[in-house]
Amino acid sequence: MRDDSNEPPAAPPSNGEETTKAAAPTAPPVEDWATRYKYLLADFENFRRRVERDRESISRQARAGMVRELLPILEAFRAARDALGHLPMSDPVRKGLDLLDREWTTFLKHEGVEAVAAPGQPFRAEEAEAVGEAPADAAHPDGSVAEVVQQGYRFFGGLLRPAKVVVARSAPADPPKDPTPAAAEE
């Protein structure tokens, strides 16, 4: 009889040892290694991008903290500049304050800081806090910012500090009159 299997014939046992078929680990196919390599490379790229985003986020948070600490100094400077606004334009103190103001503005712009409120703009509750009301007029229509009490700032799209503003409101219409006559109360 002929053996039609593709397996080689088993070797006869030598020296009385019993043959056992030990399951020898077989090497995975080459395609499996290539797939594993591609997955590992993709995982590493994702990790690298995540680390870069985290590093950028930490840097941005540190810069936001620094700018937040500098805002009171900026406001004190601008109050001093406004107090000395009566000086003539040729006065060296006034020229120095104007130069410093330009430097502050350049620094804030370079850092990505933007003011969020200006008189005449519509009031936006997500960026400003209303601390009072003023009568509306032609320059400040109903629902717009009439005065900025404390400027707020935006930093790379996020709010660094909300503004404190006075909102223009039109005078309320006359209250509705009670339709019931006074004689009906008797």
pLDDT of residue 34: 86
pLDDT of residue 87: 87
78 & 140 share domain: no
In the block, residue with structure tokens 């020296």: 15
Query: Dihedral, CA atoms, 47, 48, 49, 51, nearest 10 degrees?
Result: 80
* Residue 23 in domain: no
98 & 119 share domain: no
* Residue 184 in domain: no
85 & 155 share domain: no
Report which residue type is found at 2: R
pLDDT of residue 67: 92
Claim: this prediction has a pTM higher than 0.85: no
- The SS3 assignment for 108 reads helix
104 & 136 share domain: no
Indicate if the pLDDT at residue 174 is higher than 80: no
pLDDT of residue 5: 53
* Residue 17 in domain: no
81 & 139 share domain: no
Mean pLDDT for all residues in the chain: 83
130 & 68 share domain: no
* Residue 101 in domain: yes
38 & 105 share domain: yes
State which of 111, 127, 147 marks the end of a domain.
111
What is the C-alpha to C-alpha distance for residues 125 and 94, in angstroms, rounded to an integer? 36
104 & 42 share domain: yes
Q: Answer whether 177's CB lies under 8 Å from 155's CB.
A: no
48 & 103 share domain: yes
In the block, residue with structure tokens 């290694």: 33
Q: What is the mean pLDDT of residues 35-63?
A: 94
Boundaries of domain holding 131: 113-172
What is the C-alpha to C-alpha distance for residues 106 and 112, in angstroms, rounded to an integer? 10
104 & 119 share domain: no
* Residue 3 in domain: no
Q: What is the CATH number of the domain that holds 148?
A: 2.30.22.10
Q: Answer whether 153's CB lies under 8 Å from 113's CB.
A: yes
* Residue 21 in domain: no
* Residue 75 in domain: yes
Q: H or E element: which one contains 129?
A: strand 128-135
Helices 92-111, 30-83: axis angle to 10 degrees equals 160
pLDDT of residue 162: 93
pLDDT of residue 138: 82
